[in-house]
Chain A
Amino acid sequence: MNIALIAIIAVGGLGAILGVIIGIIAKAFAVEVDERIEGVEDRLPGANCGGCGYAGCSDFAKGVVAEKAVPGECPVCSADDVRSIAEYLGIVAEEKEKMVAVVRCSGDCANTVRSLYNGVRDCRSAVLVAGGAKGCDYGCLGFGSCADACPFGAIEIRDGLAVVHADLCVGCENCVAACPKDLIIMTPAAVDVHVYCNSPEKGAAKRQVCKTACIACRKCVKASGEEDYMLVDGFLIRTNYENPPPPDLVEASACPTSALRLGTKHAAGAYEGASK
């Protein structure tokens, strides 16, 4: 009984003393934290993708509260999320357009001539050996450096070609820097018509190495009529994202190599090789 009492007193006393000390220290060395930082962080996605340029969501929240950044800079937040943060902080939310990545190549294994490559399965390493051993010097290598860089699993490597799933893509832009061929661009999510080719070579040279290259036949330009939906850039046609074409342009222009595609159908794997 006596021993138990001593033990209880000793432990209890120790606990009380330490508690008081901790309390004093916590008061004396308290760091002023703006509680709004936590509030903003709660409303951020918490993916820590770094797409905003800050070292993770917590850092971004600090930036937003310090008014160095605006909530809209978070590429992952939906418009609702941005609005909710803005309301919380009592600032005006800027309207932002959701952007998604597009890999401007449609040359999968069935469509492009490849040499046998043997080595590190990584685009940025493969490109050091014979330019990546793909028939087209400008095409997707298909070793998935972009897919590795994507924190959201939005990029699929299908038959040697990187395909972005627009519904999963949040627009963090991590993949853009990962591609050694600079194939990935950010486009407004509302636009569904893209040219899946990025080779500036002449049409004939492109046809030799790839069945689905843009050969600059300008059918799509003609189908646009008066509108400048499509831009001619040397031997390559590009979508004009300033004045985006309506989805039915794809049908109307009947692209002979199917380089001009609907992004949604492309992601779903609806294009099996060239149409002709």
Chain B
Amino acid sequence: MSEKPRKFKGGVHPNDSKALSKSSPIQDAPLLETYKVIMHQNIGAPPELVVKKGDAVKKGDLLAKAGGFVSVPLHAPTSGTVKAIDKCPGPTGMAVPSIEITADGEDEWGATFEPITDWKNCDPAVLKQRVWDAGIVGMGGAGFPAHVKLSPPEGKVIDTLILNGAECEPYLTADHRIMLEQAEDVVLGAAIIARILGLETAVIGVEENKPDAISQLTEIAGKYNVTVQALPVNYPQGAEKQLIYAITGREVPIGKLPMDVNCVVQNVASAVAIAEAVVKGRPSIDRITTVTGKPVVNPGNWRFRLGTPIEKALELVGGVNTQPAKLLLGGPMMGIAQSSLGVTIMKNTSGILLVAADEVSLYTSEPCIRCGRCVEVCPMSILPATISQAVENKRFDWAEELNVMACIECGSCSYVCPSHRPLNQHFKRGKIEIQAQLRKKK
């Protein structure tokens, strides 16, 4: 893959603000007294609870088992007792079921998986089962179960494995630090996933603004026949469809999956989790998360256990200098705004971001002046201005005709809109209404 990456149409160039935290090494967060592990951390079916109130658990023990194929099990982040099965504030603002664990301070591992050191000769099906058992989801933000992506249906040939190290979201540096500090694991993970898919090679796509990570990975990538592809800096370079296009030149059809163009994309953090699950037998119980933002005293990258409340994470970084305008889970372009400090870290929490009042984007009801900037930056080449008007007038049929379903909700259009219109929210609404109508028809 030495050929030049293709440039997708559109995209925006926000100030990446990564300097706040990119040189801060990953630190382990100290053990807390209680963890509130949110039950449903993956896209798909929620897992089924296997513990009850009062049970003693060891670190890595099963808390809930997969509730279907598109579902992953959940493991205890530390040893202790299950204090309550209750509700805690969820990332979407609604209270969600959670398992509260009181740590005993021992942090003792329970019966973990058998490490598979000879993975090169291991049956791919066994490796895939391990990925599932370890509860690994897409850690870039979506939380899609990793094993599902590794199980192409009959007849679908996979010929390219892409690791997503683009990290195009401003502010976030977790993947960057992982690629620097755990480059071995990233490449090893890539090789294991390639083995599961029956491939010889893999490509790691990294945006050019991380030259140190690129050189670090390139140095060792050859060991497992993995290549590193530098990508131009252009948000949303890390969006699955744009990434596949940049590296292979294939366009994923609207409403289809990367599989349909013979590709599998995994996040680099997921690759590390897969490598650890296979060679160390370690389930997915923690993750690297960037805690950053201008109001934060000491921005940095931390290894948090699942179920760590945001409040505790913010204490670790020294709190804030000024009152922030927004608290986000994820990056500033696609992250979810929170109104509670009680939300806990999940498998897909790539960042905790505090946005200062002076850089925050607030929406107004100014009219569209048809400047066409949104059309210019849309990476999916749809007409955001027109679609938003269609949704505003509840013309969902028209919105569908204008391909609102192709929208990847990257937010580029709202980012450039001089009228500060909530375009992205309109698209979300439109997509949901159209899906509801489709379900009704069925």
Which residues from chain A sit less than 8 Å from chain B, CB to CB? 115, 118-122, 124-125, 128-133, 137, 201, 205
Chain B residue, CB-CB nearest to A135: B339
Residues of B within 8 A of A (CB): 87, 92-95, 336-339, 362-363, 365, 392, 422, 425-426, 428-429, 432-433
Residues of B within 8 A of A128 (CB): 425, 428-429, 432
Beyond A129-B337, A137-B95, list 19 extra A-B contacts (CB 8 Å). A115-B93, A120-B363, A120-B392, A120-B425, A120-B426, A121-B365, A122-B429, A124-B429, A124-B433, A125-B425, A128-B425, A128-B428, A129-B425, A130-B336, A132-B93, A133-B93, A137-B94, A201-B95, A205-B87
Contact B422 A119 (CB under 8 A): yes
Check B429–A119 contact: CB distance below 8 A.
Answer: no
In the complex formed, the residue of B with least CB distance to A115 is B339
Residues of A within 8 A of B362 (CB): 118
- CA of A120 to CA of B424 in the docked complex: distance in angstroms? 10
Q: CB-CB < 8 A to B433: which residues of A?
A: 124
Closest CB of chain A to B396's CB: distance in Å? Answer: 11
Q: Could you list 30 examples of A-B contacts with CB < 8 Å?
A: A115-B339, A118-B363, A119-B422, A120-B363, A120-B422, A120-B425, A120-B426, A120-B429, A121-B365, A125-B422, A125-B425, A125-B426, A125-B428, A125-B429, A128-B425, A128-B428, A128-B429, A129-B425, A130-B93, A130-B336, A130-B339, A131-B92, A131-B93, A132-B93, A133-B93, A133-B339, A137-B94, A137-B95, A205-B87, A205-B95
Q: Nearest chain A CB to B90's CB is how many angstroms away? A: 9
Q: Please measure, in the bound complex, the distance between the C-alpha atom of A120 and the C-alpha atom of B364, giving whole angstroms.
A: 9
Q: Which of B87, B93, B363, B392 contacts A119 (CB 8 A)?
A: B363
Nearest A residue to B364 via CB reads A118
Query: Which residue on chain A has the smallest CB distance to residue B429?
Result: A125
Instruction: Report yes or no: B425 in contact with A119, Cβ–Cβ below 8 A.
Output: yes
- CB-defined contacts of B422 to chain A, threshold 8 Å: 119-120, 125
Q: CA A115 – CA B428 in complex, angstroms?
A: 21
Q: Is the CB of A131 within 8 A of B94?
A: yes
Task: Label chain A's interface by main secondary structure.
Answer: loop
Q: Tell me the interface secondary structure of chain B in the complex.
A: mixed
Q: Which residue of A lies closest to B430 (CB)?
A: A125
The smallest beta-carbon distance between B231 and chain A, in angstroms, is 31
Q: Give the distance in Å from the alpha carbon of A106 to the alpha carbon of B302 in the complex.
A: 43
**Contact partners of A121 in chain B: CB under 8 A:** 365
B336: which A residues are within 8 A, CB to CB? 130
CB of B258, distance to nearest CB on chain A (Å): 25
Top 9 A-B pairs, shortest CB-CB distance? A130-B93, A115-B339, A131-B93, A131-B94, A125-B429, A137-B94, A119-B422, A128-B428, A120-B425
A131 to B340 CA separation, bound complex (whole angstroms): 13
| Known contacts A119-B422, A125-B426; A130/B95 CB under 8 A | no
A39 CA to B171 CA in the complex, in Å? 69
A235 to chain B, nearest CB (A): 13
- The smallest beta-carbon distance between B145 and chain A, in angstroms, is 23
Please give, as numbers and ranges, the residues of chain A lying within 8 Å of B429 by CB-CB distance: 120, 122, 124-125, 128
CB distance from A149 to the nearest CB of B (A): 10
CA distance A131 to B338 in the complex (A): 11
- Taking the nearest CB of chain A, how far is it from the CB of B332, in angstroms? 15
Q: Nearest Cβ in chain A — how far from B179, in angstroms?
A: 32
What's the nearest-Cβ distance from chain B to residue A127, in Å? 9
Give the residue among B92, B362, B365 with the most A Cβ atoms within 10 A.
B92
B92→A130 contact, CB < 8 A: yes
Within the assembled complex, what's the spacing in Å between the Cα atoms of A120 and B337?
15
CB distance from B234 to the nearest CB of A (A): 27
Residue on A with the closest CB to B337?
Answer: A130
Residues of A near B432 (CB, < 8 A) are 128
Q: Which residues of A contact B363 (CB under 8 A)?
A: 118-120
Task: Give chain A residues whose Cβ lies under 8 Å from the Cβ of B94.
Answer: 131, 137
Nearest-neighbour CB distance to chain B for A62, whole angstroms, equals 25
- Smallest CB separation, A252 vs chain B (Å): 34
Determine the chain A residues whose CB is within 8 A of the CB of B95 once the complex forms.
137, 201, 205
CA distance A129 to B432 in the complex (A): 13
CA distance A253 to B425 in the complex (A): 44
Task: Enumerate chain A residues within 8 angstroms of B87, measured Cβ to Cβ.
Answer: 205
When distances are taken between beta carbons in the complex, the residues of chain A under 8 Å from B338 are 130
Which of B365, B428, B429, B432 has most A Cβ within 10 Å? B429
Which residues of A have CB within 8 Å of B92? 130-131
